[in-house]
A and B are shown apart, each in its own frame.
Chain A
Amino acid sequence: MTTSTLETPTRVDFGARTVVLRVGPFSQRFPLRTLLVSLALLVSTLAVSVAALCLGDLPLSVPEVVSALLGQQSGIVETVVVEWRAPRVLAAAVFGAALGVSGAVFQSMTRNPLASPDIIGLSAGSYAGGLFVIIVLGGGPLLIAAGALVGGLAAAALVYVLAYRKGVQGFRLIIVGIAISAMLSSVSTYLVLRAKLEEALTATIWGAGSLNPVGWSQFLPSLVVIVVTFAILSALVVPMRQLELGDDAASSLGSRVEGARLGLVLCGVALTAVVTAAAGPIAFVALAAPQIARRLTRSAGVTLIPSALLGALALSASDIIAQHALPVTMPVGLVTVVIGGGYLVWLLIHETRRRP
């Protein structure tokens, strides 16, 4: 060891304030900024959710809403809050979180900030599947959800299989995903073209992603799947980080590369598929949330929790706007697209260059 005249610092300088937590065998470090941003996002999401519970045809005050949630109200107020608005508000937050995480996983795996579950054909497949049910079979909400799920999963599976050649290389996955998405998209466009006007309108509204039909019966099963997937992902977070170093480095540091990748893909797909089945394909949250979260936390690569919280906030806020900002209720997906895209543009204009 070289002896130096400077005293070796006792704390590692990570370039940003870091909080270290050590309790017994448990030890973890958190960049301070990430913690604060996450907290701020959580608080904002809660505030927006409460606001969403208050707004509507029957305006309510915050104490009324809280007491209704606690089961102290009855009659119309209870119905409105607990049976109509609550599942929708909860769904907005949970689905938004699921989409944000899904996007983060895909962007980390493909090392491409433009990656999203859409690229592996998931949303195109769900859209085509749902469309098929609406236009060709004329089915109801449950069948549409099933169609979307089957369509999305089948498309994702097809893309994965076609991209697999002794392992899935990020680039090949993207190209095959684009190819399959384009095919499915064109089928969808054709179906919309040939359908009766009514059906075509319904299909387009569903296709833009809408939280309208989400009640407790749709939400609870989705919630279960999402929670389980989050649990699995928490075990895959560390391998995901290691994969960002390249397959060689990750492998030599003890990660099982292909196994981790498969697990990550399945989790990412499951999250998006479940949301799409319940609410239709909601664009842009999966793509934009991780990028916006990354810029806010100034972290290395994508971070899962901030992406989740930002997704939740984005979808909740978008749903309020979709319902109340315009004279006619819009599908929430249109709002997410406009806002998400707009914010990304704003960021691009104002981003200070940190690299020479």
Chain B
Amino acid sequence: MTRVVEPPPITSATLPANLSPAGRSTLRRRAFGLAAAVAALLAAVVLSVLIGSKQLAPDEIWHALTAYSGTEADQIIVDLRLPRTLVGIVTGIGLGVSGAVIQALTRNPLGDPGILGVNAGAGLFVALGVSLFGVAVPAQYLWFAFVGALVVTVLVYLVGSAGTGTADPVRLTLAGVAIAAVLTGITTAMTLLNDTLFKALRGWDAGSFVERGLDVVLPATPFVLAGLVIALFCARSLNAMGLGDDLASSLGTHIVRTRVLSVVAITLLAGGATAIAGPVAFVGLMVPHIARWIVGPDQRWILPYSAVLAPTVLLVSDIIGRVILWPSEVPVGVVTAFVGAPVLIFLVRRAKASTL
């Protein structure tokens, strides 16, 4: 049955959707939501500074922020909690946004920075650093982890696109899982042969904000921010690619370029985050899903929401970790799993959740 398609007459009912009242209110709703998320983040930041294993009075905190004079309270606030909060923010941006980009790029709703081997690569290179070069503190781990993440991500991309020239989502995921497994195996074997390494890595493996001061976070921040910018730049193209390569091409997307840029963004974001704090699993998987459930499958909104929600989740997790087993601390990586898992299960049990 053929139908002749003719341009409809121009009436008010046929104006482009994003100018219609319905479109405008969606825009307002999303912007409002984002503002609310930012407010939540700010609240988390404030709480992160206020709460800790040592109780401090508000005027002590105020003193530390405005009239620093080297007292113990001042030091705790400025040297420990503020940097720690910054770590939470930067790591959150890194994990949340890279998770969103990975999910869009591999068209795999189970995408997580770990899938492209970032955690495994960082871990292996840190292990090499400790055993071969004797590095001992997170500030020194940083560059090893970063390089490791970079090397492995590139390797995964190469393997995933080998033979056919294009890295299709399934092969990329498979390559990431395989390489990550191999590297993790090697790393574990190394730790079993070397006690010092074992001790160092079991601390690293939990993903923690402890002992991460400004000397750790500041060098990594530019990379994470660069990754954020690139990711935001790719947002539109990632939307198109979610429709499948053919359709994306016909919509004018440059597929290879988008893929390369996305991988670069992922490396910078996830590599930076893991380099700072070690492997904090699950945030990269969970936050983009939550963002998508709020705003729908539009990367131009998912990325900013992830960039704000993930730090919030991380900071809240870190705060919980500080107080739940007071006076000892639970590493943030452990808490995120406990916070995130029930949320994810709850969301997946709602009827419409089978569509991602």
Direct contact of A and B (CB under 8 A): yes
Listed in ascending order, the chain A residues whose CB lies under 8 Å from chain B are 113-114, 162-163, 165, 169, 171-172, 174-176, 178-180, 182-183, 185-187, 189-190, 192-193, 197, 200-201, 204-205, 208, 283-284, 287, 328, 330-331, 333-335, 337-338, 340-342, 344-345, 348-353
Least Cβ–Cβ distance between B255 and chain A, in angstroms:
17
Q: How many residues of B contact A (CB 8 A)?
A: 54
- Interface stretch (choices B45-53, B187-195, B211-219, B241-249): B187-195
Given the interface contacts A183-B337, A330-B189, A348-B174, does A172 sit within 8 Å of B354 by beta carbon?
yes
Give the distance in Å from the alpha carbon of A284 to the alpha carbon of B188 in the complex.
15
Give the distance in Å from the alpha carbon of A292 to the alpha carbon of B178 in the complex.
12
Q: CB-CB < 8 A to A197: which residues of B?
A: 195, 198-199
Q: CB-CB < 8 A to B65: which residues of A?
A: none
Could you list some 20 contacts between A and B, CB below 8 A? A174-B110, A175-B344, A175-B348, A176-B344, A182-B337, A186-B334, A186-B335, A189-B202, A189-B205, A189-B333, A190-B330, A193-B205, A204-B188, A328-B192, A337-B181, A342-B178, A345-B159, A348-B163, A349-B163, A353-B164
B185 in contact (CB, < 8 A)? yes
Give the distance in Å from the alpha carbon of A162 to the alpha carbon of B348 in the complex.
10
Number of contacts between A and B (CB, 8 Å)?
144
B341 in contact (CB, < 8 A)? yes
Contacts A114-B177, A175-B348 aside, 5 further interface pairs with beta carbons under 8 A come to A176-B348, A179-B340, A287-B177, A330-B192, A351-B163
Q: CB-CB < 8 A to A330: which residues of B?
A: 189, 192
B184 in contact (CB, < 8 A)? yes
Q: A193 to B174, Cβ gap below 8 A? A: no
Q: CB-CB < 8 A to B175: which residues of A?
A: 345, 348
Give the distance in Å from the alpha carbon of A113 to the alpha carbon of B354 in the complex.
19
Least Cβ–Cβ distance between A310 and chain B, in angstroms:
16
Q: CB-CB < 8 A to B353: which residues of A?
A: 172
Give the distance in Å from the alpha carbon of A176 to the alpha carbon of B353 in the complex.
12
Q: A334 to B185, Cβ gap below 8 A? A: yes
B33 in contact (CB, < 8 A)? no
Which of A176, A178, A185, A344 contacts B285 (CB under 8 A)?
A178
Q: A193 to B202, Cβ gap below 8 A? A: yes
Give the distance in Å from the alpha carbon of A114 to the alpha carbon of B175 in the complex.
11
B206 in contact (CB, < 8 A)? yes
Q: CB-CB < 8 A to A171: which residues of B?
A: 354
Q: B159 to A179, Cβ gap below 8 A? A: no
Q: A182 to B163, Cβ gap below 8 A? A: no
Q: CB-CB < 8 A to B189: which residues of A?
A: 330, 334, 338
Q: B181 to A182, Cβ gap below 8 A? A: no
Q: CB-CB < 8 A to A176: which residues of B?
A: 344-345, 348
Given the interface contacts A172-B348, A172-B354, A338-B186, does A193 sit within 8 Å of B206 by beta carbon?
yes
The listed residue with most B CB atoms (<10 A of its CB), out of A201, A205, A330, A348, is A348
Least Cβ–Cβ distance between B243 and chain A, in angstroms:
19
